[in-house]
Chains A and B, each alone.
Chain A
Amino acid sequence: MIAAFHHAETPVHRLRPGVKIAAVFMGATLAFVFANWIALAILASGVLVLYVIARIPPALALAQIRPALLILVAIFALHAIFDDWLFGLFVVARLVVIIVLAALVTLTTRVSEMVAALEIGLGPARHIGIDPSRVALAVAMAIRFIPVIATQAAAIREAQAARGLHRSFVAILVPLVIRSLRMADSVAEALDARGFETKERVGKDSATIDSQQKPSVEAVERVVD
């Protein structure tokens, strides 16, 4: 899976993810606390300098704004029509600076680094019952199974196309959800078998279901008619 990481060897890339994320929060907060053009200009220059140090190509930097472009224009229009166009411009400019600053984190940090940082960052959460290693497992499993489930979704879509149902969300989602839940049961079984356990299996809790005893997926797919 291709993430939005832009590879280079720069001080920004080497910064710890936690530091970068904290910087984004600080920058955003400052932009709102000091809501004036001068403060914004200073912040914007800071972001620009960071982008230069991180050797991000200008085109790539600009591309970060593209997804939000439409709504930014709408916001400006809203203000221009209903109150003050200059204020509208400021609001949009501020958003742009914050978005671009946040994007820099993703551009300069590998997904694996972010995951490691997440696990460390969650350390204190042990006190409210969150186990960072289980969170890390959940993150890894989700990443691991996205292509598996996406493939299944495509296969289901194809199968339903043969019945003219490929444009029906229901015809795709019911089998997909059921298959994913059954997959989850199997994966949980495999995890238990590999020594990852959260409680002892005793008596009734431990009954696993013979695969033949669940309704077949085909039967369920036919329900969606």
Chain B
Amino acid sequence: MNLPALSTKDIVYIALFAAVIAAMALIPPIPVPVIPVPITAQTLGVMLAGSILGGWRGMLAVLLFLALVALGLPLLPGGRGGMAVFAGPTAGFLFGWPLGALVVGLLMERFWGKVDIVLAFIFNVIGGIAVIYAIGIGWLVLMVGADPLSVVTGSAAFIPGDLIKAGIAAFVAVTVKRSYPIIARRA
């Protein structure tokens, strides 16, 4: 594996976006009428990392964020942090985050010229939901010996909220792209 060379700016973008993801934990969850679970901002941050910084930088930003959590900083909702977070049954969803950002980012980069809100939404669903859930559910099944089907049904309650997040991330990404395109600068 050979990582693409990172410039000073890349390192700063990655570090600051990791800080943005952390700061998003401080935006209180917003209850939405129809949804059973209030929407927390952080997975939104993961989708944004990929959408705005692109595949590799987005993934590294999310990895950096998770590293900070592992180091002991209370950056997850509720002030959670430390190694215990990665030992629990839902840790798989966290492991899925960097990969999810990578997928969203690579898709955004690949279709950068044509990206509009619909495409952005689709990419966020693929990377931000499908990929993350696949890994999260896989891990859960492994750790817990549960029947995959029941786990999937159990996770269903969170999907509507995540779809809304994907929509928000798409809108934000497209808006930011208009005035401050980062991905284009690479080329």
A and B from one complex: yes
Residue ranges of A at the interface with B (Cβ–Cβ < 8 Å): 1-5, 21, 24, 28, 64, 67-68, 71-72, 74-75, 78-79, 82-83, 87, 91, 95, 98-103, 105-107, 109-111, 114-115, 118, 128-130, 134, 137-139, 141-143, 145-146, 148-150, 152-154, 157, 167, 169-170, 172-174, 176-178, 180-185, 187-188, 191-192, 196-199, 214-215, 220, 223-224
Closest to B39 in A: A169
B81 close to A142 (CB less than 8 A): no
CA distance A30 to B107 in the complex (A): 39
Residues of A within 8 A of B172 (CB): 169-170, 173-174, 177
A24 close to B87 (CB less than 8 A): yes
- Pick from B70-78, B96-104, B108-116, B123-131 the stretch touching chain A: B70-78
CA distance A212 to B161 in the complex (A): 39
Residues of A within 8 A of B13 (CB): 181, 184
7 A-B residue pairs with Cβ-Cβ distance under 8 Å, sorted by A, are A110-B72, A149-B23, A169-B172, A178-B176, A184-B9, A184-B12, A184-B16
How many whole Å from A25's CB to the nearest CB in chain B? 10
The total number of A-B Cβ pairs within 8 Å is 223
B84 close to A106 (CB less than 8 A): yes
Over the window 61-73 of chain B, the binary record of Cβ atoms lying under 8 Å from chain A Cβ atoms (1 yes, 0 no) is 0001101101111
Interface size for B (C-beta < 8 A) is 67
CA distance A75 to B13 in the complex (A): 39
CA distance A95 to B37 in the complex (A): 25
- B160 CB–A CB distance under 8 Å: no
How many whole Å from A177's CB to the nearest CB in chain B? 5
CA distance A223 to B171 in the complex (A): 12
Residues of A within 8 A of B11 (CB): 134, 137-138, 141, 188
CA distance A214 to B179 in the complex (A): 8
Residue ranges of B at the interface with A (Cβ–Cβ < 8 Å): 1-3, 5-9, 11-20, 22-24, 26-27, 30, 39, 41, 44, 48, 52, 64-65, 67-68, 70-75, 78, 80-90, 143-147, 150, 154, 168, 171-172, 175-176, 178-180, 182
Residues of B within 8 A of A183 (CB): 16
CA distance A100 to B147 in the complex (A): 25
Candidates B27, B83, B144, B147; contact of A105 at CB < 8 Å:
B83
How many whole Å from A100's CB to the nearest CB in chain B? 7
Residues of B within 8 A of A174 (CB): 172, 175-176
B87 close to A180 (CB less than 8 A): no
Residues of B within 8 A of A187 (CB): 12, 16
How many whole Å from A146's CB to the nearest CB in chain B? 5
Residues of A within 8 A of B175 (CB): 170, 174, 220, 223-224
Closest to B77 in A: A67
How many whole Å from A149's CB to the nearest CB in chain B? 4
Residues of B within 8 A of A111 (CB): 71-73
CA distance A183 to B24 in the complex (A): 17
Closest to B60 in A: A138
Residues of A within 8 A of B17 (CB): 180
How many whole Å from B98's CB to the nearest CB in chain A? 14
CA distance A122 to B67 in the complex (A): 13
